[in-house]
Amino acid sequence: MGIWYYVSSASISWVANRENPLNDTRGTISINSYGNIVLMDGNGQVIWSSNATSSPVNTTAQLLDSGSLVLRDISSGSTLWESHRHPVDSFLPTMRVSHNPRTGARVGLNSWRTFHDPGRGNFTSGLHVMSVPQIYIWKNGVPLWRSGPWNGRILTGVTGMYSVYVDGFSVAQEEDGTYYFTRNFRQKFISRNFLNADGVLVEAGWDEQKNDWNVTWTAPANDCDLYNKCGPFSVCYIKDTPICSCLRGLTFIKVPDFMQWSSGLETECSSQCLANCSCLAYGYDPGIGCMFWSGSLIDVQKFAGDAGSDFYVRVSYLEMDKEKSNKVVIVVSVIASLVAASICLFLAWWMCKRKGQRRSLAFDSTGEKGRSESEIVLRSDMDSVKIEELPLYSFEMLATATNNFDLSNKLGMGGFGPVYKGKLANGNEIAVKRLSAASGQGLEEFMNEVVVISKLQHRNLVRLLGCCVEKEEKMLIYEYMQNRSLDVFLFADKTQDVLDWRKRFNIMEGIGRGLLYLHRDSRLRIIHRDLKPSNILLDEDWNPKISDFGMARIFGGNQDQANTGKVVGTYGYMAPEYAMGGRFSEKSDVFSFGVLVLEIISGRRNTSFYNDEFSLGLLGYAWKLWNEDNVADFIDKRISSPTFQAEIVRCLHIGLLCVQEFPINRPTISTVLSMLSSEIVDLQLPEHPGFTDRWSRSHVGSSSSTQTRSANNITHTVLEGDN
């Protein structure tokens, strides 16, 4: 008894009786008097049973488009059993492979015995959580391959894995401590992931022109993919000869196994490791934080591309000194050319400066003649931006205000550093954003934020009070928001109802007004690029203020869109054209605003919401309920009220218009505000949202119990004997 892809009968995805095949060709599948699915041979003997019930229950069996065979209680509609909870060798959409590090319980894949025998083979694959989730392949319980740690978006040791949007994978944790790895359901693509009989994980997509599967990824793919190929304290690089070499600090690395981690800035990782005598190495990933190793450094692999993480190994001073001495000759031999090059660069800079082409990016607070000492000049790639009357705070003053940046005053993490609450000597409360020392990326975003926000004044934008620039310390000082950020209350305990509908509506309007100012009414045209609940601050009167302009971009007067090869921001709030192609515009911010609207209405976080039954994210779930005229199920129970029902549904309608897949279909923010204020009464019908599959009402649900063929031609279940 099996399930396979309808496009290819040879592509079997699940087998019920893999260890107990039928001995004849007269097998039957039925639901017995207890409500269980049973497979019987020609003599009426039960070969396999779902064993979901022990007392009579009226049930129905259904084959879902995701490839899962589901047994449901007809009276209650609850799921009693499903094949996805008992995987074989294939990792199907909405299936979960899981691991509970507390109990050791694990659900994973098990290979076939041979390519023609579905019995249990020697290879297993699944999730393993020691400190951070990773995917492993084991041969008879011994590790064969490791994916590298999950950083919230990708498995860092898997080359070519770009994001949950592209690959459709995600990791989440349940209340009992179980971690699970799942794959989203994409109706437009027929693909399969499975562990073959040789212990290789395979990803393949169906090629309709060739009428065959096209293999897109395998693991392990080469000798360096094999677990601990080179032994401890060695690194494997497939392009080297020999492939194994001694371990040094490297970039683009699949970091070693058996790591520990802690949250913190990249610059804090080094000091934490040096302060611990047992720390042998450290690494950093923005989605994980600091990673530390104190035992043998095993299974280290270097990649040729941009996969992996940077990795630093602790060495003795004598070893460093020896290495330096070996480089003396090289250093001396090039020093003359460096001096000459420096002179040439200086002359070129001086000439460019005289021509008005300011290419440098630096601070000047030296107090030139005719300039106040409190004035800061930033020279950008485009022109010189003067910021007058911006107070300069001393490091000592801010250290005192924050009690030496005590953790008890830490409000959270901004885009490029921690944010602390402080209290000045005059009693005024402030928020201090402290950037990581010596971070080139942090400096760039710091200067970008100063340039952008110092030119902006609006009641729905956070106000910059000043900055601190002393040696390696760079800090921004903002007005303090008593009610912190929107996410604190929006996604809080469902029993709390601090944000009633009036407050939520006013917050949506305020965010919209702030965006309108950025896009149309300010001196500069600004695209924010990182609009999300944690970047919406709330004052004591619950007025919203947009914050964190480190990712913002300034547009020219006639510029409608721009492209970037460096996509920054937060997945889940990025527009499709930006996340996938690097194109951004005002409509990108409108998409993010639409996601915010849907989150405000539902009280659910887009980046963590997932509907198991229909394999939908928050946007897809809203779209499904909208098409079913069942939006009441989408509305947060804390604000659900007949008094506001019509207004809430209208706002949901507006939110869906904002998150449409194509930018040309989305309204401008000025039009959105007119819709919210009901100046525009009649709203057009929304098209399908971005990052969701196109589907109609006829696609809602799954294949009926009277059909064997699924709605999207992917799965098919019949009885068949082994070859």
Three-state SS across 277-293? CCCCEEEEECCCEEEEE
* Residue 672 CB burial class (10 angstroms; 0-12, 13-18, ≥19): buried
**Residue in the structure block whose two tokens are 């994978």:** 169
Q: How far apart are the C-alpha atoms of 615 and 643, rounded to whole Å?
A: 32
Count of positions (residues) in the chain: 723
Q: Which amino acid, 630?
A: N
In this structure, is the dihedral angle defined by the CA atoms of residues 107, 108, 113 and 119, taken in order, positive or negative? Answer: positive
The DSSP H or E segment spanning 536 is strand 536-538
**Token output for 302:** 């270097």
d(CA 16, CA 19): 9
Q: Which of 624, 611, 626, 619 is nearest to 594 (CA)?
A: 619
Q: Strand pairing of 553-555 and 561-563? A: unpaired
* Residue indicated by tokens 């915010």: 596
Rounded (10°) angle between helices 669-676 and 586-602: 30
Dihedral, CA of residue 69, residue 72, residue 78 and residue 84, to nearest 10: -20
Query: Which residue intervals of 141-286 are DSSP H helices?
Result: 164-167, 266-274
> Which residues, other chains included, contact 96 with Cβ-Cβ below 8 Å and sequence gap of 6+?
84, 85, 107, 180, 181, 182
Dihedral of alpha carbons 444, 445, 447, 448, sign: positive
Q: What is the three-class DSSP state of 269? A: helix
DSSP result, 334-349: HHHHHHHHHHHHHHHH
Residue type, 19: E
Q: Residue 203: helix, strand or coil by DSSP?
A: strand
d(CA 32, CA 245): 62
C-alpha to C-alpha distances, 23 to 27, 40, 41, 178, nearest whole angstrom: 9, 11, 8, 39
Catalytic residue set: 530
